[in-house]
Structure 1
Amino acid sequence: MSESAHQAKKRFGQNFLHDPQVIARIIRAIHPQGGETVVEIGPGLGALTVPLLEKLGQLHVVEIDRDVIPRLLAICGNAPGLMITQADALGVDYRQFAVAGHKLRLVGNLPYNISTPLLFHLLAQSEAVTDMHFMLQKEVVERMSASAGEEAYGRLSVALAARCEVAHLFNVGPGAFSPAPKVDSAIVRLKPRAPDFAIDDLTLFDRVVAQAFSQRRKTLSNALKGLCSVEQIRAADIDPGLRAERLQARDFARLANRLGAAG
C-alpha cells in the first residue's frame, strides 16, 4: 500500500519515509539483532517497521494515529510479532516494554514538533535503554551534537552531554519523504550514560544551563543574575566575563554543584 492511501496529518507531524536507499542505510546503522527488544516510535506506514520485523521477528511500535494502524497491519502482513500500542509517545512509560535483564533499543522517525520534549521524556527512562536511533530535523541534530564554541551549541547540547553520547550519523534530504518536509533531516544515535563528571543535582544543573543560555549574548555575570553572584562564578573557576557558549557541560556542573553546596 502506498503512502498516497493515507493522508498525512499535519497535527501529528507526519512525513512518511519512502526512499529505499535511505531506509536500508538506517537499518544498517541500527544493526538490529534477533533477541533484542526494539520499540519503534511513530511507525506510520511501516517504512522501518517491515525491515525491522524481518530482522527481529517481533517489534513493539507506538503510534498515535489510530487511522494508520489498520494500514500498518496490512503492510506488515498482520505479522503476529508486531505489537502495537496506540498512544501519544509523550505519555508512554517505555520501561513497560523491557524484558527482565534486557534493555530496550528505541528507533523512529520522530514528529519534529515534539522532538525535544520527547527526547527528554525518553532520557528520563534511560536506565531501561541501550540506545536510540532517530530521524530528526537536521538543525536539531546539529544543536544536539554541537561542541562548545560552535554556532549551534546551546542549552540542548549541554543538557544532552550530561545524559548521553550523541552521534550525528548522516543527513537525509526532503525527497526521501512524502509529503516532503520543508527542512533537511538527519539520523542521530544516542547512547545513555552517566557523565565523566559529577552532577549533584540534575534539576539545578538544568536550571543554571537554561538561565545562562536564555540571553546567550550576555556574559555569565549578567545572564545568571539572581541565581548566583560573580564571586560564586569565579569560585567555580569560571570567568564571569565569558558567554554561556564558551562553557562545557562539566563547567556548568561545577558551578551548579557549588551553588547546591552553598544552599
Structure 2
Amino acid sequence: MRDPDGLIARAGVRGNPDRDQHFLVDDRVLDRLPTYLEGVSLEGDDGSITDHILEIGGGTGALTDRLLAVADDVTVVERDRQLADFLTEEFAKEIADDRLTVISGDALEVSLPPFTACVSNLPYGVSSEITFRLLPEGRPLILMFQKEFAERMVAEPGTPEYGRLSVSTQHFAAAELVETVPKEAFSPPPQVESAVVRLVPRVPDYAVDDEEFFLRFVKAVFTQRRKTMRNAIRNTAHISGLDDPDAVVDAASEELLQKRAGAVTPAEFAALATLADDVGRHTEEG
C-alpha cells in the first residue's frame, strides 16, 4: 500500500482546514475502511458489492489505493484541481488499466456514475448534502463524519441526539456507527473527533406516499422540537407547506399530539405525514 505521508509529500500539498482538507493518514484506519463492506449484501442484487466503488474527496489517494486493492473499478471525485491532477499522475497505471476514473469537480454538481458502494472520508462542511445525494441511490455507504454528526445520524427516539437527521437518515438506510477516529489520524488534525458510519439501504417498515413532503414535514416540526407536536404542526405550516394545520391536529391522535418531536418514531412520523398530506394540504383542483 502507498504510504499516506509519502503521498502528501509527492503531491506537494498541505491540508488546509479553511478548505475543509484533513487528509486521513492513519494506516490502520485506512486499512479498516474497506473491510466495513464485508458481509453487506443487498436483496435481489446479483453483482458484487465491490464491482464499482465510489470515493468522494480523494485527496492525495491514500484511501483510493486501498479501494483499488479490493474493487474491480473505482471512481474518485475530487474538487481540488491540483489534487485531481496529482491523482491522475500518481495512479496513471490504474487509469490506463481502466480500473480507476478520476473526476475533477464538486460532488454536489458533477454527474455520478452508477456505483455498487461508496467509501469516503467526506469534506465535513458539505457532508450532509453529499450524504443525502448518495442515500437515495440505494447503495451501501461507508462514510467518515464529524463524531457529533455521526451520533445524530444513528440516534434512537428519546435520546438527546435524535432529530431530523436521525429520521431522514434512517428512512433510507440502517445506520450504524462502526468506529470512532481520533483527531491525530488526520493531517492536519481537525478540531473534533470523527466517526465512521455504515449505511445499508433498507425498505422502511412503513409507507410514505410523498417522500418529499414527508422529509419536509419532519424538518419543519424539528425546528420546534421543544414544543408539543400539536403546537409544532401549527407553528411550522409555512415550512411544511400545510394549508390547514388545524385539520391535521383535529384528526391526529391525542397521544401523539402530546409528544415532542424527539420522542416520535420514524414510523409515527410517516403516519402523521400521510395524515397531514390527506387532510392538511389542498390540491389545485380542491
TM-score by length of 2: 0.82
- What letter matches 2:109 in structure 1? G
Q: Give secondary structure in 2 for the equivalent of 1:197.
A: coil
CA separation in 1, counterparts of 2:24 and 2:228? 43
Distance change in 2, residues 1:221/1:190 (3 Å): same
Gap regions ≥5 residues in structure 2: 1-5, 40-47, 282-286
Distance 1:41 1:229 in 2: 41
What is the aligned length?
254
Matches within 5 A, 1:8-157: 8-31=15-38, 36-76=51-91, 78-80=93-95, 81-94=99-112, 97-98=113-114, 104-124=116-136, 126=137, 129-157=138-166
Q: CA deviation at 1:38?
A: 0.8
Give the Cα–Cα distance (whole angstroms) in 2 for the partners of residues 107 and 164 of structure 1.
15
Tell me whether 197-206 or 2-11 shows the greater mean CA deviation: 2-11
Q: Deviations over 1:126-147 (max 9, x none)?
A: 1xx4211111111111000001
**Distance in 2 between residues matched to 1:35 and 1:178, nearest whole Å:** 28
Contact 1:221 1:229 in 2 (8 A): no
Query: Which residue pairs with 2:173 in the alignment?
Result: 164
Give the aligned partner of residue 45 of structure 2. none
Q: Can you list the C-alpha shifts for 1:66-98, whole angstroms capped at 9, x where unaligned?
A: 10123324443642322111110111332xx22
- CA separation of 1:234 and 1:158: change in aligned 2, threshold 3 A: farther
Partner of 2:274: 257
Unaligned runs of 5+ in 1: none
Choose from 159, 176, 184 the match for 2:185.
176
Q: Is the 8 A contact 2:17 2:188 kept in 1?
A: no
What corresponds to 2:259 in structure 1?
242
Q: Secondary structure at the match of 1:122?
A: helix
RMSD value, Cα: 2.1
Question: TM-score normalised to the size of structure 1?
Answer: 0.88
Q: Is the 8 A contact 2:228 2:257 kept in 1?
A: yes
Residue aligned with 1:79, SS = helix
Cα distance in 2 for partners of 1:141, 1:92 equals: 25
Shift of 1:58: 2.9
Q: Supply the distance in 2 between the matched residues of 1:93 and 1:72 (Cα, whole angstroms).
A: 19
Q: Partners in 2 of 1:34 and 1:159 — Cα distance?
A: 24
Cα deviation, residue 2, structure 1: 4.0
Counterpart Cα distance in 1 of 2:49 and 2:268: 41
